[in-house]
Amino acid sequence: MADLIEMLRTGLPAEAVLTDPDITGSYAHDMASFCQAGLPAAVVLPRTVEQVQHVMRTATALRVPVVPQGARTGLSGAANASDGCIVLSLVKMDRVLEINAVDRIAVVEPGVVNATLSRAVREQGLYYPPDPSSWEQCTIGGNIGTASGGLCCVKYGVTAEYVLGLDVVLADGRLLTCGRRTAKGVAGFDLTRLFVGSEGSLGVVVKAVLALKPAPLEQLALAAEFPSTAAACEAICRIMERGHAPALLELMDRTCVRAVNDLANMGLPDSTEALLLAAFDTPDPAADLAEVGRLCTAAGATEVVPADDAAESELLLKARRMTLTALEAVKSATMIDDVCVPRSRLAEMIDGTAAIAGKYDLTIGVVAHAGDGNTHPTVCFDAADPDEAWRARESFDEIMALGLSLGGTITGEHGVGLLKKEWLARELGPVGMELHQGIKQVFDPLGLLNPGKVI
């Protein structure tokens, strides 16, 4: 331990190396439930690429594990420390290095907060679409590590589609530059995409070149109430089948609707079994909303409420934004799943989750990025009750099994981390796992980077 701290301090400012257990313990885990976390030997907060390289060279020399971290808003345990590791927190590398309106790129350090980048590019008439729900806290490095998504993915896509190039410090301290600044390029294997979603297990991202879009037009939203999940999902299928391109298409099940009503007196009728929210940022959003409203009515919607302006749109979307807070008020703990299924199987996923909730006598609310089939079943439970906590974990696993049985994936945007490591092998199969392990061996032969995560 003394050798480790001494070697770290030879290449880092004194204030960048934290060893007080009361402080380092606060860096031990992210926001996931049911994931073990150890006590790090040290937390380091570098500000430069050279300092990150020094940390990795030190870790390699002493064979000490390294856990890269962003803002620790993740939901899979990917940022959890292991006993005796170095936690490499990148939050101090938080500069927006360049915004180029001609090339439509931004160059950023990994500690830049998503919302900070979004606002900075908006000032130049540009748009960075990936918008996780934690966008006011989460960092770009963390978004890259988990290949995160958000509400606008249905039209604009996920983080992976916006990462053009990366600078990555490898496990032995070497600096790799991969990808490009150009609008297209196919030179060599796509190493950039390989790092996106790797959860810090292959290298440490220290700089990213991100693609930008022109700033979209103002959104208008619509809310539609349905008497059944099946009817709401039928509307979703028809909306996508007809070629509409909503900027947002979200679904709340009856549990979420009731939780929001209980918390904020939103006035949604008790008969609402599903609430569908759609928004368009097209040149004529009112016309698009009118057509979607007709599709919702044809599918069985009991009420369709289109907004007339941006202020009304925000009011309609308020229920969706409050969902997690409302579910957190139901019980002392929540466990958020992240199962993505084909849109055509969405109703089966939601109704199947309701059956699992009944089986285990739990409250499980489902909110979904309905346009891309990404569901977030949220299990509410009392963490102090061992039996209820056990039932919560069992229900979580059954929900993942349900998703796979419907042709889906165990994670659409939260990542694998510790929470879903066993399930990854079931999804990938033995050949897929063998190749993943081979790739890990190439990039991190000593197994020092985020050990025990993903694979």
Residues 116-150: pLDDT tens digits? 999 999 999 999 999 888 889 999 999 999 999 88
Neighbours of 407 (CB within 10 A): 11
- Report the top-level CATH class of 220-405: alpha beta
C-alpha–C-alpha distance, residues 444 and 449, integer Å: 7
* 455 has pLDDT over 90: no
Q: CB within 8 A of 412, min separation 6: which ones?
A: 149, 338, 339, 340, 369, 372, 373, 374
> Which pLDDT value is given to residue 201?
98
Percentage of the residues of the chain whose pLDDT score is greater than 90: 93
Give me the numbers of helices (H) and strands (E) for the chain, helices first please.
Answer: 15, 19
Torsion from C-alpha of 81, 83, 88, 92, nearest 10 degrees: 70
Do 391 and 361 meet the contact criterion of CB atoms below 8 Å apart?
Answer: yes
228: DSSP letter: S
> Which pLDDT value is given to residue 34?
87
> Which pLDDT value is given to residue 33?
85
* 196 has pLDDT over 90: yes
Phi-psi domain of 200 (left: phi exceeds 0; alpha: psi -120 through 50; beta: other)? left
Whole-number mean pLDDT of the chain? 96
Q: Can you tell me whether residue 185 is helix, strand or coil?
A: coil
Neighbours of 188 (CB within 10 A): 8
Which of 3.40.50.620, 3.40.50.1370, 2.60.40.10, 3.30.465.10 would CATH assign to domain 96-214? 3.30.465.10
C-alpha–C-alpha distance, residues 126 and 124, integer Å: 6
pLDDT tens digits, one per residue of 170-185: 999 999 999 999 999 9
Q: Is the dihedral of CA 158, 414, 88, 57 positive or negative?
A: negative
* 266 has pLDDT over 90: no
Query: Rounded to two decimals, what is the model's pTM?
Result: 0.94
* Tokens of residue 384, six digits: 């102090």
Q: Nearest CA to 380 among 370, 369, 389?
A: 389
pLDDT band with cut points at 50, 70 and 90 for residue 259: very high
C-alpha–C-alpha distance, residues 372 and 357, integer Å: 23
What residue type is assigned to position 211 of the chain? A
> Which pLDDT value is given to residue 105?
98
Strands 105-108 and 126-127: unpaired
Do 144 and 199 meet the contact criterion of CB atoms below 8 Å apart?
Answer: no
Q: Nearest CA to 136 among 158, 116, 120?
A: 116
Q: Nearest CA to 207 among 126, 104, 90?
A: 90
Question: What are the residue boundaries of the structural domains of the chain, listed by start?
Answer: 2-89, 96-214, 220-405
Mean pLDDT of the region 210-234: 96
CATH of domain 2-89: 3.30.43.10
